[in-house]
Amino acid sequence: MLVAVIGDVHGRFFRVEDWVTELERARGASVDLVLSVGDIETFATPDDHRRKSTKRNMPAEFAEYARGERAMQRPFVFVGGNNEDFETLETMPDGGTLAHNVHYLGRAGVKTWQGLRVAYLSGIYAPTRYDRPRLAVDRPETTRQAGYFRAPEVAQVRAVAAADLLLLHEWPRGIAGRESAVAQVGARGIRPAHWAQVGNPYAAAVVTTLRPPWVLCGHLHVPHAVSLQWDDGKVTRVVCLDQAARSDGGLLWMEYQGSEVVAVGWGTSGEVAWHPGDDWDERQSAPRIRVGSWRDKD
């Protein structure tokens, strides 16, 4: 089974579908599942996109899928980011289908897709909202708060018994510049002075509780790879994806046999970057970084 993972789409659905087609040709296999780390922007009309999106210059390509003029070819399953069509997503806290093959997972929990147990937490952390109730998204001033996760959602995903994958939008704190075999490279798209503040501690707590074999996240638009070794011998491999502007760091593929990952690669070339037994660290992500690409608000 072949799974493609996509970084922040920000409306660029057409190129993402083209990349998946290229990947299928390169691997000689069809992609069974596309997982997205959020900030996809499923606005149903170009006008919605103009009015509601925080990314003014992004294409409103989802409108064609929403109108049924174009169909997503493979199941496309996403976790919410902090830039989304929240008017719609807030009506479906446990997830739902937005167009043929386009599925929102929901705010927090676990769901099984193609036999994989996918744990998920939508949104990013904001200290001013974490312990406050959600507000109705019925005016522009209440849009942004819908992109912040709340304490009960973190508790919900921390209670998940077992997961093959954890899908987040924002990085877990503690992985930028973390000591590793090639620590001097550490997330070099982000200035070392920022490393300690990158990511949020609640996502880190979820990772520590679940200890899943793989964690996938986006938000910062910086590719990064790091392994976490646990005291019980388990290893969690974290993948941070670039936004879907370039496939090199914005697309990752994982080949599964049963629930085991047997090969991983970046981009559409089909070239393998990792096999079981290989290290998973900055050597896999550093060549894909554009220095200085980190922007705070994405």
What is the contact surface with Mn ion in residues (CB under 5 A)? 39, 81-82, 219
Q: Which is nearer to Mn ion, 7 or 265 (CB)?
A: 7
- Compute the least distance from the CB of residue 24 to Mn ion, in Å: 27
Whether 79 and 109 have beta carbons less than 8 Å apart is answered as no
Minimum Å gap between C-beta 9 and Mn ion is 11
- State in angstroms the smallest separation of the CB of 298 from Mn ion: 5
Burial class of residue 195 (count of CB atoms within 10 Å of its CB; 0-12, 13-18, 19+): middle
How near is the Cβ of 76 to Mn ion at its closest, in Å?
18
Q: How far is the CB of 218 from Mn ion (least distance, A)?
A: 7
Edge-to-edge strand order for the sheet containing 260-266? 96-99, 102-104, 76-78, 31-36, 2-6, 251-257, 260-266
Tokens of 262: 């047997």
Nearer to Mn ion, 17 or 84 (CB): 84
Could you tell me whether strands 2-6 and 224-229 are parallel, antiparallel, or unpaired per DSSP bridges?
A: unpaired
Q: What are the beta bridge partners of residue 215? A: 166, 238
Pick between residue 9 and residue 63 the one whose CB is nearest to Mn ion.
9
Nearer to Mn ion, 214 or 294 (CB): 294
Residue nearer to Mn ion on the CB measure, 27 or 224 = 224
Which one-letter amino acid corresponds to residue 98? L
